[in-house]
């Protein structure tokens, strides 16, 4: 496995222009998360244009360079390759893993979001994928109130159906991280929990501890 368990992935929500106090604060928090042992930082900034996204990915790489944390770009293989990021994360309805593998170096991590057992199995059988995101597992403040919630039982079935590491996303807390680990998940991805944390180091370490507790 190319990702060491447990996987703790922080998903960004960028704020502010380059050099602004908001942007610098976010990069400091990203660096703190990486220093605390976060496995991945996923840059998911759909509102940024190409130039701004490339600049932000490079800033995140600089902020995490002294750590083992890997920087993953959401959906944009071109940006990931140009910036020198460690990987790309694909949408379930976007470009295929095979297409990315046809143009990317073997060292590039490739992950994919799935929302069902069938999608997970099909992705695993297709080969070339390093990990899966599955969700939304719990109700999440980053999703609309009417967004579908998969639940822990569906997560358990997905984890049992594939050998790939499955990362649970959606409404994650330390208590829920322990629950998804017992369901077979290799780790968790967090958005709101990271964005709203007053102590980023403590959040990451508590997630890591929850994922590794008996």
pLDDT confidence bin for 143, thresholds 50/70/90: low
Check pLDDT > 70 for residue 146: no
Going by pLDDT thresholds of 50, 70 and 90, the confidence category of residue 34 is: very high
**7-212 maps to which CATH number?**
3.20.20.70
**Cα separation of 10 and 23, whole Å?**
16
Peptide bond into 6 cis (omega under 30): yes
Q: Is 91 among the residues known to form the active site?
A: no
d(CA 196, CA 173): 12
pLDDT tens-digit series, residues 151-169: 999 999 999 999 999 999 9
pLDDT tier, 203 (very low <50, low <70, confident <90, very high otherwise): very high
pLDDT confidence bin for 16, thresholds 50/70/90: confident
Q: Which of 5, 23, 58, 143 is catalytic?
A: 143
From the candidates 44, 58, 101, 157, give the one annotated as an active-site residue.
44
Task: Please say if 44 is a catalytic residue.
Answer: yes
Q: Which residues contact 134 (CB under 8 A, 6 or more apart)?
A: 113, 114, 115, 120, 150, 154, 155, 158, 166, 167, 168, 169, 185
Residue extents of the structural domains in the chain: 7-212
- 49 and 72 in contact (C-beta within 8 Å)? no
Q: What is the pLDDT of residue 144?
A: 58
| Annotation says 143 is catalytic | yes
The H-or-E segment that residue 93 falls in is none
Q: Which residue out of 29, 112, 113, 176 is catalytically annotated?
A: 113
Instruction: Give the pLDDT of residue 213.
Output: 83
pLDDT at 54: 95
Q: pTM value?
A: 0.94
As beta bridge partners, residue 168 has: 134, 188
- Kindly state the average pLDDT of the residues 170-198: 95
């Amino acid at each position: 496995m190319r990702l060491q368990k447990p996987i703790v992935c922080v998903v960004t929500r960028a704020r502010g222009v380059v050099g602004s106090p908001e942007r610098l604060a976010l990069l400091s928090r990203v660096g703190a998360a990486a220093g605390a042992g976060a496995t991945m930082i996923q840059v998911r900034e759909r509102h940024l244009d190409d130039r701004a996204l490339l600049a932000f990915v490079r800033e995140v790489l600089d902020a995490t360079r002294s750590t083992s944390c890997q920087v993953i770009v959401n959906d944009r293989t071109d940006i990931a390759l140009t910036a020198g990021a460690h990987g790309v994360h694909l949408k379930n309805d976007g470009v295929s893993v095979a297409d990315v593998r046809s143009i990317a170096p073997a060292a590039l991590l490739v992950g994919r979001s799935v929302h069902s057992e069938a999608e997970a199995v099909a992705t695993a059988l297709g080969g070339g994928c390093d990990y899966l995101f599955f969700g939304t597992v719990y109700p999440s403040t980053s999703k609309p109130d009417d967004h579908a919630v998969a639940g822990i039982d569906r997560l358990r079935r997905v984890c049992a159906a594939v050998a790939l590491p499955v990362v649970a996303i959606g409404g994650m807390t330390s208590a829920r991280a322990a629950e998804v680990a017992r369901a077979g998940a290799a780790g968790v991805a967090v958005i709101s929990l990271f964005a709203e944390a007053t102590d980023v180091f403590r959040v990451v370490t508590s997630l890591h501890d929850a994922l590794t507790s008996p």
